[in-house]
């Protein structure tokens, strides 16, 4: 079997607003040699990602996949339970197909108005997926789980993101990839 991880998600997988080669998954590929097939599509919610994911893995007998989503759902006003439900569908689909899945936990963003919803989703995922591989990228960011609280944290976090407070800078995408690379490489090797 090829050393490949299928990466499904939204703009945070795609690497928006940059080219795909500046995404964090591209950085993981550079560091590990594991092919990271980037299927990120900007603007998608978890239900859209799940349907693309299901179609893309329909003929896959076994393998590895990343599923990442939630920010667009939050911005669309969806509740954490609804978002987690779509992620559970992806996990269940993978279990039937013998695919090992990694779920990406959303990281805090600089847009503080979204912080309570991001925190609710983070907690709902931790509760719903106790037995799953959750990749939490929080250690990359200079804040706690609740996101930026103090003025100093808010200012520091703004440097990690571009103009919209949600999408990372190219340097932050690289840091995310550097943090995730050994974790994903270890997961890949133990599941092969």
Q: What is the pLDDT of residues 130-178, one digit of tens each?
A: 999 999 999 999 999 888 888 999 899 999 999 899 999 999 999 999 9
What pLDDT sits at residue 108? 92
Q: Which of 57, 58, 17 is nearest to 37 (CA)?
A: 57
Contact 167, 160 (CB under 8 A): no
Token pair for residue 37? 């097939």
Beta-carbon contacts of residue 99 (< 8 Å; ≥ 6 apart) = 57, 60, 62, 63, 64, 65, 93
Cα dihedral across residues 105, 107, 111, 117: positive or negative = positive
Query: Domain range holding 169?
Result: 4-191
**Residue 48 belongs to domain with CATH number:** 3.40.50.1110
What pLDDT sits at residue 112? 85
Contact 136, 102 (CB under 8 A): no
Q: How many domains does the chain have?
A: 1
DSSP-derived pairing of the beta strands 63-67 and 35-40: unpaired
Q: What is the pLDDT of residues 55-112, one digit of tens each?
A: 988 777 778 999 999 999 999 999 999 999 999 999 999 999 999 999 999 999 998 8
What pLDDT sits at residue 67? 96
Look-up of token digits 């990839």: 177
pLDDT band (50, 70, 90) for residue 1: very low
Alpha-carbon gap, residue 105 to 176, rounded angstroms = 12
Alpha-carbon gap, residue 14 to 146, rounded angstroms = 25
Assess whether pLDDT exceeds 90 at residue 192. Answer: no
What pLDDT sits at residue 35? 94
Q: Which of 116, 5, 17 is nearest to 68 (CA)?
A: 5
């Amino acid at each position: 079997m090829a050393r490949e991880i299928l990466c499904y998600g939204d703009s945070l997988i795609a690497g928006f607003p940059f080219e795909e080669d500046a995404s964090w998954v591209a950085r993981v590929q550079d560091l590990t040699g594991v092919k990271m097939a980037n299927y990120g599509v900007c603007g998608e919610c978890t239900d859209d990602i799940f349907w693309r994911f299901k179609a893309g893995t329909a003929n896959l007998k076994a393998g590895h996949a990343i599923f990442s989503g939630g920010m667009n759902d939050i911005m669309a006003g969806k509740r954490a339970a609804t978002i987690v439900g779509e992620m559970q569908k992806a996990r269940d689909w993978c279990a039937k197909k013998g695919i090992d899945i990694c779920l990406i936990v959303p990281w805090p963003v600089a847009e503080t108005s979204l912080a309570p919803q991001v925190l609710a989703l983070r907690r709902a995922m931790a509760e719903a997926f106790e037995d799953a591989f959750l990749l939490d990228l929080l250690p990359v960011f200079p804040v706690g789980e609740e996101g930026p609280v103090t003025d100093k944290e808010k200012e520091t976090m703004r440097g990690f993101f571009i103009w919209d407070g949600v999408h990372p800078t190219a340097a932050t995408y690289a840091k995310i990839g550097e943090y995730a690379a050994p974790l994903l490489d270890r997961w890949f090797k133990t599941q092969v």
